[in-house]
């Protein structure tokens, strides 16, 4: 699995910001009330980040111990354990969180900029919660990228162990 493409995530944030600002502009021009993010949105995304971190830290510890054992082989029992399905699910959760944070953070960043530029939003009731949701969304995207990098496998040393990836078996084309 390829690592997350950071320019694509940045593009998603920029497109989301444009969409969020345009959505509020369209609603305002038609006379509708503007949807504003509440504090619950920020709390939910913080909870998502906490869950991702709770699954990511054991993965990081296991990978750090594996790297330490690769450099300095040891027969001592492992201090940190994680099974392969849990590690894979953690990496997938990190990837999903990165994309979700980029989309949500971009949309709320665009809405925040629109509210600030036009002056239509109350600073405490509209701009602050929407801005907080934007910051936490972008933070979730960054945390997703970091946790996904924690699960990166070291390059194969070519010992001929019989395992093959999709690309080396001709399945990647």
Residues 25-60 have pLDDT tens digits of: 999 999 898 888 889 999 999 999 999 999 999 999
* Under 8 Å between Cβ of 148 and 102: no
144's tokens: 């997703």
Which of 3-12, 22-31, 78-87, 160-169 is least confident? Answer: 160-169
Phi, psi of 49 (to 5 degrees): -65, -40
The model's pTM:
0.83
Per-residue confidence (pLDDT) for residue 165, from 0 to 100? 41
Per DSSP, the residues of the chain read -PPP-HHHHHHHHHHHHHHHHHHHHHHHHTTPPPP---HHHHHHHHHHHHHHHHHHHHHHHHHHHHHHHHHS---SPPS----HHHHHHHHHHHHHHHHHHHHHHHHHHHHHHHHHHH--S-IIIIIHHHHHHHHHHHHHHHHHHHHHHHTPPPPP-----S---TTTTT---
Q: What is the pLDDT of residues 80-131, one digit of tens each?
A: 888 889 889 999 999 999 999 999 999 999 999 999 998 887 878 889 999 9
What's the pLDDT band for 15 if we cut at 50, 70, 90?
Answer: very high
Q: What's the rounded mean pLDDT across residues 6-21?
A: 96
Highest mean pLDDT range out of 1-5, 17-21, 163-167, 168-172?
A: 17-21
* Under 8 Å between Cβ of 7 and 99: no
* Under 8 Å between Cβ of 131 and 156: no
Per-residue pLDDT for 3 more than 90? no
């Amino acid at each position: 699995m390829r690592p997350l493409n950071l320019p694509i995530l940045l593009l998603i944030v920029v497109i989301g910001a444009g969409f969020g600002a345009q959505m509020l502009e369209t609603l305002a021009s038609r006379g509708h009330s503007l949807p504003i993010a509440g504090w619950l949105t920020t709390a939910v995304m913080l909870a998502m980040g906490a869950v991702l971190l709770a699954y990511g830290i054991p993965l990081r510890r296991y990978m750090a111990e594996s790297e330490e054992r690769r450099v300095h082989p040891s027969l001592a029992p492992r201090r940190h354990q994680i099974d392969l399905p849990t590690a894979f699910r953690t990496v997938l959760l990190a990837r999903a969180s990165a994309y979700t944070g980029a989309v949500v953070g971009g949309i709320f960043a665009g809405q925040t900029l629109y509210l600030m530029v036009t002056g239509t939003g109350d600073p405490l009731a509209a701009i602050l919660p929407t801005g907080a949701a934007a910051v936490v969304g972008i933070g979730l995207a960054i945390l997703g990228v970091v946790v996904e990098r924690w699960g990166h496998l070291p390059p194969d040393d070519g010992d001929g162990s019989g395992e093959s990836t999709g690309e080396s078996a001709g399945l990647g084309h």
